[in-house]
Amino acid sequence: MIARPHRLRRNADFASVRNGARPNGAGLIHVTAFLREPSNSVSCARFGIVVPRRVGNAVIRNLVRRRLRAALTAILPRVADKWDIVIGTRPAAASAAFEQLASALEIGLRRAGVLVHPPVRINSAP
């Protein structure tokens, strides 16, 4: 689960991201990022996930939302501070595998320019 300071919760926050958008698509999702003002008191990156009705019924939308949150927790340490990021989904996300969603999320965040560290690869065999 994403901690409370890392979540966009108010409609005004979503609107500010939409108005100062840097949209980037990766097929299954699209990422919109906005660099906050330095005077803002929040120092960490904040995320919002938007899953429209065309993705599916409530059960499917919640499943997609949970899967995106799980993928985001693995990528969160590599995201730069002071960004507000809205992740929107497309209908194909409902039938995609978790690995596809995770890679689409990473590609979208990389295209938006909010990742600061390269991915860490762990080799299982020497």
Which of 89, 94, 85 lies closest to 56, judged by CA? 94
CATH match of 4-112 with 3.40.50.11740:
no
The confidence score (pLDDT) of residue 49 equals 87
Range in 11-15, 41-45, 86-90, 105-109 with the lowest mean pLDDT: 11-15
The pLDDT of residue 84 is: 82
Averaged confidence pLDDT in the chain: 79
What integer pLDDT is reported at residue 26 of this predicted model? 55
On the question of pLDDT at 97 being above 60, the answer is yes
Q: pTM of the predicted model, to two decimals?
A: 0.74
pLDDT for 119 beyond 80: no
Helix axes 98-112, 58-75, angle to 10 degrees: 60
